[in-house]
Structure 1
Amino acid sequence: MNLEGILPFSHQLLKKVIFPGDVVIDATCGNGHDTLFLAQLVGPNGKVYAYDIQQTAIEKTKARLDEASCKNQVLLLKKSHAELAADVSEPVRAVIYNLGYLPGGDKSITTLEESTLESISAALEKLMVGGLVILVIYHGHEAGKLEKEAILNYVSHLPQEKFSVLQYGFINQRNLPPFVVAIEKR
């Protein structure tokens, strides 16, 4: 048996709850890997809201979607995920975040605790019962350390009657390895 890595683990969780036709959110589209994965899961009748504040991320994601012929079910939004409450009117099945900075991009542009917490709160409001919010937390940089602490404090205080919160990660790896927090709405 091999333990699943962080990203495969998060994708396995999403596969269990997302169905064709669902509405989902990629709160940090980055290079487009999760956006494409979600677009394939929801199919042509579903919808993916994909957020990023960087034009480079939007362009890379668009190119990845075009190449896979999955762009019609994706709405690319060059704005903060903190604005999802205003943008998303329908209930959502799942939301994924890859927090930190754009791989291969400007490391000084990162997700920030205030906007991330605002976004998570809105995502939990929009989330359907049985749906998931997945947070992949990269905390090997200053902003990431602050964001990690704020998120763990926030999710540890979610009422257990309404939410189940899981933390998954490797504790014996060097260099502050990323980990997953999964929130299921009951």
Structure 2
Amino acid sequence: MKKYQITEWCHHFIGGHVLEGDICIDATAGNGHDTLLLAELVGASGSVIAFDIQEQAVQETKRKIDACGYAERTEVVLDSHVHMGAYAKENTVSCITFNFGYLPGGDHTLATKADTSVQAIEEGLRLLKKDGLMSLCIYSGGDSGFEEKERILAYLKELDPKKYLVIVSEYYNRPNHPPVPAFVIKL
């Protein structure tokens, strides 16, 4: 039986959206799982740009990409996701993934922060093309607190409904502050 972890749930929607030849961004590379999925989906004619501020995350993502033979279609960048606009043009990106919080298995004191996360979402929305999808895995509680979650959700709620469709889901019967999957489609 599937566990329906937040990343699996988001991958389900991403898989039905990304096409061969697309340009995609993994805004928080982490251990490379989203980068790998995107690289598979875009095929040899597409491209993926992955960002992380931690060298450990960049190296692990590169290792996974190289092992699968996707290095030609994937660029892994040691940089903040707030700078993704320097690597992609406006209205060209089909899908952007975010996993907010800290690197699983890494230093919990190094985590995404509310201010830069909202800046990165804003930048990503500018880069998304019409019908482009943004997937956001929002974690809270424990080490990461609640400020980032609250700020991101408040920002998403205020997006112009004529320009964006925002869908926020929740694990309604799971205890201990379960993650929140959210999706934004540029109309």
Q: TM-score, normalised by structure 2?
A: 0.94
Q: Give the partner amino acid of 1:67.
A: A
- Contact 2:136/2:183 (<8 A) preserved: yes
Instruction: State the distance in 1 between where 2:162 and 2:123 align.
Output: 18
Quote the Cα distance in structure 2 between the aligned partners of 1:121 and 1:164: 15
Count of aligned pairs: 186
1:7 deviates by: 1.6
Structure 1: 5+ residue stretches without partners? none
SS in 1 for 2:146: helix
Q: Structure 1 residues 142 and 15 mapped into 2: Cα distance closer, same or farther (>3 Å)?
A: same
2:104 aligned residue:
103
Q: Deviations over 1:97-153 (max 9, x none)?
A: 011000000000000111111110011111111111111011124544111011011
Match of 2:51 in 1: 51
Match of 1:137 in 2: 138
Structure-to-structure mapping, 1:16-31, within 5 angstroms: 16-31=16-31
Q: Contact between 2:108 and 2:143, CA under 8 Å: does it hold in 1?
A: no
Structure 2: distance between partners of 1:155 and 1:101: 21
TM-score, normalised to structure 1, is 0.95
CA shift at 1:66, angstroms? 1.1
Alignment of 1:61 onto 2:91: no
Deviations 1:83-106 (A, max 9, x none): 012221251000000110000000
Deviation at 1:2, TM superposition (A): 7.4
Question: Aligned partners of 1:175, 1:112: CA distance in 2, in Å?
Answer: 21
Q: Where do 1:161-172 residues align within 5 Å? A: 161-172=162-173
**Following superposition, which runs of at least 4 residues in structure 1 exceed 3 angstroms of deviation?**
1-5, 141-144
For residues 25-82 of structure 1, what are the alpha-carbon distances to aligned partners after superposition, in whole Å with 9 as ceiling and x for unaligned?
0000000011000000001111101000000000111111111111111111101000
